[in-house]
């Protein structure tokens, strides 16, 4: 096979990149080891930054973000039994949208396939070579065991945290900057009406909880747990009791729990984001802990930069943007790394925290909610820095 850009991974990054490239007259092939059904049904994040929504609206003016999704003009930070609203439009003139990632994927898959995108499911990349030449290639295997070689002008790793493209660029998949956290999230989906109009990020003596939503009938909630927790070990009654104890001052609307999972936390940035004729985007390039919902939005920011750089490189032979890609992308990546780390450490209870740590943390929360400057920083970062 021969194409201009070989994209490994049909997640939000790979799909949006293929669209932006096609807009610039650049053809691509996307491969993904998963089936379309698997991609469309995996439960992931739920919050889109203003800039992500603006981009999805530019890609498709009829995007379901505006009909199925919900604009949120703020979040609540809750601690010591009291809620404190962060008013996004009032502080920074921007909002976020609650619209689950798998809905973005359904929209983008339908759009790309109807535009004739070469998109192959059930194809597993095994390695990438030749990135230091101008004819890099991706070696892959189809579901039926057939070998596939994709010759390209450029290879993009949009293949998630266990990226196959990453080691071709960084030498070893683990080369990079890491932070592990001593806790995880226990996530549930339940059939119940919303417990609040907006998301509640709650710090309590018992640990953190996040009350989020999916639709008028389905709610998403999380609570801090041990990273080794077994999602099936708790009864529904115990889950509700745990959640309820972590949002003192709010009464949760309970209902049948139909999905549960444990999400481990990690911060990671790959040592290099680009090597020769290959680059990394999204989770292949970096991972953030979920607090603050930066993951998918950061992937979108990466591909906006990369699409422009590839247009210059492949259409005009101008290497300046691709040579600057890693540095330009890193600037936002590290701001998002800081924000995700900060929201995580400000809101969770550290195992082993003593009375000093606890009081200091409440002081930190107060300095944010009682200061317009503090609330403004949170609103700016949460709604997302402007896309390049
Ligand atoms: C959701 C997840 C997040 O990490 C977050 O900060 C907000 C919402 C969610 O899945 O709804």
The 10 Å CB-count burial string (b at 16+, else e) for 85-114 is ebebeebbebbbbbbbbbbbbbbbbebbee
Please tell me the residue having the least CA distance from ligand 1 atom 11: 46
Ligand 1, residue 295: give the atom nearest the CA.
4
Distance from Cα 210 to the centre of ligand 1, integer Å: 8
Is the confidence at residue 212, as pLDDT, over 90?
A: yes
Cα separation, 50 vs 68, in Å, equals: 16
Regarding pTM above 0.90, the answer is yes
How far, in Å, CA of 223 to CA of 82, rounded?
18
Centroid of chain to Cα 125? 22
47 C-alpha to center of ligand 1: Å?
6
The answer, yes or no, to whether any atom of ligand 1 lies below 6 A from the CB of 300, is no
8 A C-beta contact, residue 220 and residue 208:
no
48 lines ligand 1 (CB under 6 A): no
The answer to whether the CB of 291 is under 6 A from ligand 1 is: yes
d(CA 147, CA 168): 19
Annotated catalytic residues are 72, 201, 290, 294, 382
Q: What is the ipTM of this complex?
A: 0.98
**What ligand 1 atom has the least distance to the C-alpha of 343?**
6
Q: Which of 42, 44, 47, 198 to mutate to test the pocket of ligand 1 (most atoms within 8 A of CB)?
A: 47
Going from the Cα of 154 to the center of ligand 1, the distance in angstroms, rounded, reads 33
**From ligand 1's centre to the CA of 221, what distance in Å?**
8
pLDDT at 300 over 90: yes
Q: What pLDDT does 261 receive?
A: 95
CB 336 within 8 A of CB 287: no
Ligand 1 lined by 15 (C-beta under 6 Å): no
As a whole number of angstroms, the distance between CA 59 and CA 165 comes to 27
Would you say residue 310 has pLDDT above 80? yes
Contacts of residue 95, Cβ cutoff 8 Å, sequence gap at least 6: 50, 71, 72, 73, 88, 89, 383
Q: Is the CB of 292 under 6 A from ligand 1?
A: yes
Distance CA 79, CA 164 (A): 42
Q: Which atom of ligand 1 is nearest to the CA of 292?
A: 6
Distance separating alpha carbons of residues 261 and 189, to the nearest angstrom: 9
pLDDT in tens, 158-191: 999 999 999 999 999 899 999 999 999 999 999 9
Burial pattern 2-37, b for ≥16 Cβ within 10 A else e, equals: ebbbbbbbbbbbbbbbbbbbbeeebbbbbbbbbebe
Expressed in angstroms and rounded, the spacing between residue 366 Cα and the centre of ligand 1 is: 22
Q: How far apart are CA 213 and CA 190, in angstroms?
A: 9
Query: Can you tell me the distance from the alpha carbon of 66 to that of 53, in angstroms, rounded to the nearest whole number?
Result: 9
| Residues above pLDDT 70, as percent of the chain | 100
Confidence grade of residue 339 (pLDDT, cut at 50, 70, 90): very high
Q: What is the pLDDT of residue 86?
A: 98
The span from the first CA to the last CA of the chain, in angstroms, equals: 33
Give distance in angstroms: CA of 126 to centre of ligand 1.
Answer: 32
Mean model confidence pLDDT for the chain: 97
Sign of CA dihedral 261, 267, 270, 274: positive
CA dist., res. 62 & res. 71, Å (int): 16
User: Which residues have C-beta within 8 Å of that of residue 67, sequence separation ≥ 6?
Assistant: none
Residue 155's pLDDT is what? Answer: 99
Residue 388 has a pLDDT of 77
> Are 300 and 16 in contact, with CB atoms under 8 Å apart?
yes
Q: Is the CB of 78 under 6 A from ligand 1?
A: no
**What is the per-residue pLDDT for 44?**
85
Cα dihedral: 286, 289, 290, 292 (round 10): -90
- Give the model confidence (pLDDT) of 111-136 as tens digits: 999 999 999 999 999 999 999 999 99
Is the CB of 46 within 6 Å of ligand 1? Answer: yes
Calpha distance 21→265 (Å, rounded)? 32
Q: Is the CB of 297 inside a 6 Å radius of any atom of ligand 1? A: no
- pLDDT score at 43: 82
The pLDDT tens digits for 216-266 are: 999 999 999 999 999 999 999 999 999 999 999 899 999 999 999 999 999
The domains located in the chain, with CATH, are: 5-72+98-177+267-346 (3.50.50.60), 179-266+352-383 (3.30.9.10)
- Say how many C-beta atoms besides its own lie within 10 A of residue 218's C-beta: 17
Residue 91 pLDDT greater than 80, yes or no = yes
């Amino acid at each position: 096979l021969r194409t201009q850009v070989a994209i490994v991974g049909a997640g939000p990054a790979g799909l949006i990149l293929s669209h932006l490239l096609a807009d610039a007259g650049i053809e691509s092939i996307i491969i993904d080891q998963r089936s379309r059904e698997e991609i469309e049904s995996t439960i992931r994040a739920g919050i889109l930054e203003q800039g992500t929504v603006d981009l999805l609206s530019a890609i498709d003016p009829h995007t379901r973000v505006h009909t199925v999704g919900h604009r949120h003009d703020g979040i609540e930070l809750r601690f010591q039994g009291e809620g404190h609203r962060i008013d996004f439009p009032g502080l920074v003139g921007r909002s976020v949208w609650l619209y689950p990632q798998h809905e973005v994927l359904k929209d983008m898959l339908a759009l790309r396939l109807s535009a004739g995108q070469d998109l192959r499911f059930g194809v597993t990349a095994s390695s990438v070579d030749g990135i230091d030449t101008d004819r890099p290639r991706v070696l892959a295997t189809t579901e039926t065991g057939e070998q596939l070689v994709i010759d390209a002008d450029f290879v993009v790793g949009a293949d998630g945290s266990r990226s196959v493209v990453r080691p071709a660029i960084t030498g070893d998949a683990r080369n990079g900057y890491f932070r592990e956290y001593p806790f995880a999230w226990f996530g549930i989906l339940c059939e119940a009406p919303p417990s609040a109009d907006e998301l509640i990020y709650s710090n309590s003596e018992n640990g953190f909880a996040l009350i989020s939503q999916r639709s008028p009938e389905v709610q998403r909630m999380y609570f801090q747990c041990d990273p080794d927790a077994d999602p099936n070990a708790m009864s529904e009654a115990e889950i509700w009791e745990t959640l309820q104890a972590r949002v003192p001052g709010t009464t949760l609307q309970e209902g049948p729990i139909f999905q549960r999972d444990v999400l481990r936390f990690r911060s990671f940035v790959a040592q290099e984001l680009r090597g020769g004729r290959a680059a990394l985007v999204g989770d292949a390039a970096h991972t953030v802990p979920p607090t603050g919902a930066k993951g998918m939005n950061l992937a979108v920011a990466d591909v906006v930069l990369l699409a422009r750089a590839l247009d210059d490189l492949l259409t005009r032979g101008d290497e300046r943007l691709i040579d600057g890609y890693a540095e330009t992308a890193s600037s936002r990546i590290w701001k998002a790394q800081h924000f995700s780390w900060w929201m995580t450490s400000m809101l969770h209870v550290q195992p082993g925290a003593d009375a000093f740590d606890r009081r200091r943390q409440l002081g930190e929360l107060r300095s944010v909610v009682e200061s317009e400057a503090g609330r403004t920083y949170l609103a700016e970062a949460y709604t997302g820095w402007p896309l390049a």
